Structure 1
């Protein structure tokens, strides 16, 4: 089984020595799940649409996980454009190879203005997941619960730039994604 992760900086693991995709690959290996990462720093859903023929199509994954939103929020992508780009990628994937499609949010932010900015995109992921019958993994809820349980703040799980989780932040994201994917994965 192939799981392909397509997203921006968070999915690419920018700023971390061990990204959540590496943790997923390790933990899912015993279940015969191959994790493929086609994510790059600062890429938005516009890049996802533009590179679909190279980054997604040739791999024909069984599970296609999109983890966009943070870069879109901080690079001036409109919410409507974000949603339309996701819809295009999902429809194209379903037409060409019929994967299970998963949409994942990302981490939380301590700064309320930053959190407001990404919340708009996290809501958009919820809308698209509902409209197109995709699995939604609300990573930010898991992340917030972890912070509360451990008495931490988001900055404890990010690097100097709060857009990029550190290694510990990627571990928390990996936990949320594995939990969310559990119904799609072989035992």
Structure 2
């Protein structure tokens, strides 16, 4: 009976979303400062999936200002509620900007990956980098943390969310931190190569 209802919805709407992709991040994924959520990369991801014939619903559970500690606390409820097939984990930027210790950050990221995998989801870890004024030692270790987590947990890695445009001021809002609407397609293009192999039609 349930399958018949799903098939009817697909027939009527022309698009059938059979599984969930959970975007779990901070303001960089929450669409901070954009005019509408339709401009955010997570919304652009939904459009790309639909037009490419992938049957997924994108749920954006990102929260501005979130740290890895906050995400670790919040993730179990999000997993239970949305039961995602894939989790895109984009957290850590606020840990770095606040100069928080990196070992707890790595532990938080690793635990979130494990929780997601235990729930049956595949995970994409999204890496970030810091401005050089945080010092070479901290910035290098911060950058390497994401790769270390992805390698240890066996998950795909997006090396840097803002690869290819981080030095272009016109792609950032007045705060110099958050990408503009024009940059959102480029953010999605950075995530897509790591995500696409996990998708099923």
Fold-level match, TM-score > 0.5?
A: yes
State the TM-score, normalized to the length of structure 1.
0.84
- 1:37 equivalent to 2:60? Answer yes
How far apart are the structure 2 equivalents of 1:81 and 1:51? Answer: 16
Residue aligned with 2:197, SS:
coil
Aligned-CA RMSD value: 2.2
Match of 1:55 in 2: 78
Structure 2 unaligned blocks of 5 or more: 1-18
Which of these two proteins has the greater Rg computed from alpha carbons? 2
Structure 1 unaligned blocks of 5 or more: none
Count of paired positions: 177
Give deviations 1:78-125, integer Å, cap 9, x for gaps: 111110001111222222x2211110124x67x532695665433111
Q: 1:2–1:176: structure 2 CA closer, same or farther, 3 Å change rule?
A: same
- 1:79 equivalent to 2:99? Answer no
- Relative CO higher for 1 or 2, CA cutoff 8 Å, sep ≥ 6? 1
How far apart are the structure 2 equivalents of 1:155 and 1:105? Answer: 20
State the TM-score, normalized to the length of structure 2.
0.79
Q: Which of 121, 142, 163 is 1:99 aligned to?
A: 121
